[in-house]
Amino acid sequence: MLVLTVFGVLVLLMLLGVPIALSLGLTAIGIMYWMGGTDLLIMFGQRAYFGTASFPLLAVPFFILAGNLMNTGGITQRIFGVAQLCVGRIHGGLGHVNVIASMIFAGMSGSAVADAAGLGVVEIRAMTKAGYTARFSAAVTAVSSTIGPIIPPSIPFVIYGSLTNVSVGDLFLAGIIPGLLMGVALMAIIALVAKRQNLPRMDARPSGREALRVLGAGLPALVMPPLIVGGILRGWFTPTEAAVAASLYALVLGTVVYREL
């Protein structure tokens, strides 16, 4: 009888247009109240609160905030410009630029979603404008963004370390080499595809003044990854403090240096 009642209430809520997550939650709350009254509801709320009241988990929203600030503050465009200056003139250069920019961005946000949402707009637009197919551009962008959760700081590493009582700093250290190898392997595949399909490259070599301008604009952003990762590994601050520092640094860059926030 209880099972049929629960199923019926759940179906009724969904038929009324209530979102599935809210339907499940309301049904579960009703069951708990039916079985244990208000005491069970109070205990559930306390368990839910204490299960998430973790200082290390505070790093997650702050790293997400840092990624959003970098996307809106002009930092991602500067990172892309520096990467384009370095490898843009080889065959399939913008594909390599895509990977390098994602690796740099990964050292700031730790999120594949932030990488794809921020750099993806810039990268796909530049690649399609240069003659790359939309399919190839989207594929490289999607795959390169998966480096974000591997190269520290990594949001999944923070969550895993918090749930299993494993050192987040050690997890960050363990993710450096695999993340770099993923980037190198992806660039090797892009090089093979570029050679086979004769993908375009930048023909114009930037002048010395233009190169210095791009490097000067991107240098403040490039300081951020070693500052965050190095500070954690050397014990200067915890991952949560590093996330706060990343958010503040991105805020200062976007408002004071680049003035796009």
Q: Are 232 and 239 in contact (CB under 8 A)?
A: yes
Q: How many Å apart are CA 249 and CA 255, to the nearest integer?
A: 10
**Mind listing the pLDDT tens digit of every residue in the chain (261 residues)?**
667 777 787 788 888 888 887 888 777 777 777 776 676 667 766 666 666 667 777 888 888 888 888 878 888 888 888 887 877 777 778 888 889 888 888 887 777 877 787 778 888 888 888 888 889 888 999 999 889 889 888 888 888 888 888 888 888 888 889 999 999 999 999 989 888 888 777 666 777 787 788 888 888 888 888 888 888 878 888 888 888 888 898 899 889 888 887
Cis amide leading into 153 (omega within 30) = yes
Domain ranges of the chain: 2-52, 56-257
- Check residue 51 and give its pLDDT: 64
What is the predicted pLDDT for the residue at 162?
Answer: 80
pTM score: 0.74
Predicted local distance difference test score (pLDDT) of residue 185: 93
Rg, the chain, Cα only: 23
Torsion of CA 135, 95, 185, 214, to 10 degrees: -150
Instruction: Say what the pLDDT of residue 2 is.
Output: 65
Alpha helices in the chain (DSSP H): 2-15, 20-52, 59-72, 75-87, 93-109, 112-129, 134-145, 155-164, 168-197, 208-222, 224-233, 239-252
